[in-house]
Homo-oligomer: A and B are copies of this chain.
Amino acid sequence: MRIKVINPNTTESMTRTIAAAARAAAAPGTEILAATASTGPVSIEGHYDEAISVIGLLEAIREGEQQGCDGYVIACFGDPGLLAAREMTRAPVLGIAEAAMHAASFVATGFSVVTTLGRTRIIAEHLVHAYGMGRHCRRVRATELAVLELDDPASDARRKIVNECRRALDEDGSGAIVLGCGGMADLARELTAELGVPVIDGVGVAVKFIEALAGLGIGTSKRGDFAPPLPKFYTGRLSDMAFQAPGKPSAP
């Protein structure tokens, strides 16, 4: 099985962190293709960054279709472009926030999200509602770390994350923690051991859930709003983004 894990930002070092977590999680027969968006922001820290990052994400999905991928992971905690990506393929596509939140709901009645900048909390909160996690998610907490600080060994990121996790356990009544950024992927197992509760990284969970779905022959529905994009012209610099179904030209 071949799973493409896509980093929607353009920072290669973060892709490496994400890829390592993906490979550590993957089953022996699963090949992980790690992709970095070819264009867009170096980090995603708000609605604007997120909106633009979708182009690089969708390009990577398209490439993955040519590469015969069996599933896709969107490795940014805002799950950008998730529904658009699902139109493009019959393979399952999961976002890491989606995967992590669902996994947390399987092992605890309440969880807290620990994420990066305060201004991104609303994005996580919107996803909580989109995924029906309103009763399970006790709180979305921000460490005020910039996304690129996570990858910087000189930063104090680990300590800040652990402290926010401890506050979450003490104050929120949560039984599990969801790590709120793809860049935190490597921390899951050690924080689980340190804090004594499940600390969940969405990259690993998404890879495993994709393996699960693909293994059962469950793919993205092609009926209704996830049917392939209708054939039509795209103009201008993004004209190449006109969707091309396998074997068919894009223009009507």
Contacts and interface: CB of A to CB of B under 8 A. Distances in A.
B48 A229 contact: yes
B106 A92 contact: yes
Contacts of A234: 10, 39-42, 52
A235 B42 contact: yes
Interface string A133-155: 11110000000001000000000
Contacts of A146: 230
Nearest to A136: B132
B122 A225 contact: yes
Interface bin, chain A: 35 or more
Interface in A12-71: 25, 27, 37-43, 45-52, 54-56, 58
Given A105-B131, A198-B221, 6 more contacts: A39-B236, A48-B58, A48-B88, A98-B106, A106-B209, A175-B226
Copies per assembly? 6
Contact of A216 (B118, B133, B204): B204
A213 B103 contact: yes
A229 B46 contact: yes
A207 to B, nearest CB: 9
A228 to B, nearest CB: 8
A180 to B, nearest CB: 15
A184 interface: no
Contacts of A212: 103, 205, 208-209, 211-212
A42 B232 contact: yes
Q: Which 10 A-B pairs have the closest CB atoms?
A: A132-B132, A39-B236, A208-B212, A175-B221, A51-B84, A47-B83, A48-B229, A108-B221, A175-B224, A48-B84
